[in-house]
Amino acid sequence: MEVVILGAGYAGLRALKALQKADDLHITLIDKNDYHYEATDLHEVAAGTQTKESISYLIEDVVESHKTTFIKGEVTKIDAEKQTVLLADGKEINYNYLIVALGFESESFGIAGVEEFALPMVNVETAAAVHQHILAMMQKYQETKDENYLKIVVCGAGFTGIELLGALVEGRKEYAQIAGVKPEDIQIYCVEAVDHLLPMFSEKLAAYGIDHLKSWGVQLLTGKPIKEIKADTVVYQDDAETKALKELTAKTIIWTTGVSGSHVIGASGFEQRRGRVTVTDHLTAPDHENIYVIGDVSAVMDATSKRPYPTTAQISLKMGHYAAKHLLATLKGQTIAPFTFKSLGSVASIGNSHAFGVVGAAEVKGYPASFIKKAILDRSLLETGGIKEMLAKGRFDLYH
Ligand SMILES: Cc1cc2nc3c(=O)[nH]c(=O)nc-3n(C[C@H](O)[C@H](O)[C@H](O)COP(=O)(O)OP(=O)(O)OC[C@H]3O[C@@H](n4cnc5c(N)ncnc54)[C@H](O)[C@@H]3O)c2cc1C
């Protein structure tokens, strides 16, 4: 029995961990990188407050070679009829069961110039490139004294944008040193379409995070939909009534307005929206009982809100575990109860020692919240990499 897992992110590795406990099946794991990275820490790599090595580990560390073959390769298409997966190098891999966990990509929402002139932050390479870009711009300031080199604009104030802003504030010391200015001289902006930020939190709690960012000098332009990105320029609608546009110039423009699921989903002909398949209550693609679609490429309906659950590492891990359990039960001719999810809450970090969010029914903020956030991230690491990776990453030294 051949099980193929596409993607070694949270969902894929969690499924692998559970499947490797079973006998009588062979697993092939495919990822375009030979390392797993913790996407929940990408903003820190982008800001330079963590290195890319500190948020990643080798996939081979979690592969049991007598049960699993790891292939480093880029998936381009799934052929559900032929039961094959196509790779960019032309290889074709056959499967009996497939677990698709290809994760998220940057979403431009069709706004002109995003791909050409804004920096994405959706994997280790793009996050590290953001940091390198910022440092290069600081160096340019030294040479030119053009203030645009000191300006950083984050497009989008969702969960990711807010976490990135906090990390950039923390990174200012490093940038300022290179530019030869004071940390306060680094100008950090955020342009966001809506006025009501962080709707997942109570108004008071969201205000806690936002007020902190403002007190650290972050300039938040809310209710200003971005209309276009041009070279070194964000064009936004300044006035909803007159539709008047305004331009904000900066040499660093980072795009964090939202993500979609992998483009491979659309390329493979699945019924999908923004790279996500609305799955059955056993997490399989409609019409394909042998294909599980999990993590950020999946849309799971929340029966209470009648909307899909937000895509998070938390639900991805749960889906990975469920898909493996369901697959193993199916092989035994059994079935298990449908997938259910109850969020444990979410905590947003703003810098290394501040955070705010909800855990269970309780609101948490400040230093204790940052401790909880780090404990949650460590739990994810434990669920994918195990105790070895946790120790290797020195995660007990929570405050780096
Ligand atoms: C800055 C930031 C902060 C976040 N904070 C939180 C948080 O605090 N809590 C939370 O729960 N969630 C958080 N999230 C969301 C969370 O990171 C995602 O929901 C989660 O990473 C999705 O997991 P996944 O396994 O579906 O995909 P991913 O983690 O995206 O993994 C996908 C894997 O597939 C591989 N891959 C992709 N395309 C191909 C291809 N074509 N061929 C081969 N391999 C491929 C990639 O290399 C990767 O290893 C955050 C996200 C960001 C960006």
Whether the predicted model's global pTM rises above the 0.75 cut: yes
Amino acid at 397: D
Q: Which of 32, 201, 263 to mutate to test the pocket of ligand 1 (most atoms within 8 A of CB)?
A: 32
CA 247 to centroid of ligand 1, rounded, Å: 32
Which residues are registered as beta bridge partners of 357? 347, 364
- Report the distance separating Cα 296 and Cα 307, nearest Å: 15
CA 182 to centroid of ligand 1, rounded, Å: 35
Q: Whose CA is nearest to atom 2 of ligand 1?
A: 40
Over range 128-148, report the average pLDDT.
98
CA 101 to centroid of ligand 1, rounded, Å: 9
Q: Which of 289, 285, 282, 251 is nearest to 271 (CA)?
A: 285
- 53-57, 183-187, 369-373: segment of lowest average pLDDT: 369-373
- Report the distance separating Cα 298 and Cα 264, nearest Å: 13
Question: Catalytic: which of 38, 107, 163, 174?
Answer: 163
Residue 44 Cβ inside 6 Å of ligand 1? The answer reads no
pLDDT band for position 398 (50/70/90)? very low
The alpha helices in the chain, defined as continuous H runs, are 10-19, 42-47, 114-117, 124-144, 159-179, 203-215, 263-267, 313-331, 366-384, 387-392
Please write the tens of the pLDDT for every residue from 241-250: 999 999 999 9
Contact 70, 63 (CB under 8 A): yes
Over range 275-281, report the average pLDDT.
96
Residue 295 Cβ inside 6 Å of ligand 1? The answer reads yes
Q: What is the pLDDT of residue 390?
A: 62
Contact 165, 206 (CB under 8 A): no
Q: What is the pLDDT of residue 396?
A: 43
Instruction: Tell me if residue 163 is catalytic.
Output: yes
Q: What is the pLDDT of residue 1?
A: 92
Please write the tens of the pLDDT for every residue from 61-114: 999 999 999 999 999 999 999 999 999 999 999 999 999 999 999 999 999 999
**Alpha-carbon distances, residue 335 vs 100, 256, 284, 288, 360 (angstroms):** 20, 40, 13, 16, 30
Q: Which of 102, 201, 349, 377 to mutate to test the pocket of ligand 1 (most atoms within 8 A of CB)?
A: 102
Atom number, ligand 1, closest to the C-alpha of residue 295:
26
- Report the distance separating Cα 241 and Cα 296, nearest Å: 36
Q: Tell me which DSSP letter residue 289 carries.
A: E
Residue 213 Cβ inside 6 Å of ligand 1? The answer reads no
Contact 372, 355 (CB under 8 A): yes
Residue 163 Cβ inside 6 Å of ligand 1? The answer reads yes
Contact 9, 39 (CB under 8 A): yes
Question: Average pLDDT over the chain, rounded to whole?
Answer: 93
Counted residue by residue, the chain has a size of 400
Please write the tens of the pLDDT for every residue from 12-70: 999 999 999 998 899 999 999 999 999 999 999 999 999 999 999 999 999 999 999 99
Q: What is the pLDDT of residue 368?
A: 83
Which residues are registered as beta bridge partners of 5? 29, 99
Q: What is the pLDDT of residue 120?
A: 97
Q: Which of 61, 312, 364 to mutate to test the pocket of ligand 1 (most atoms within 8 A of CB)?
A: 312
Q: What is the pLDDT of residue 371?
A: 80
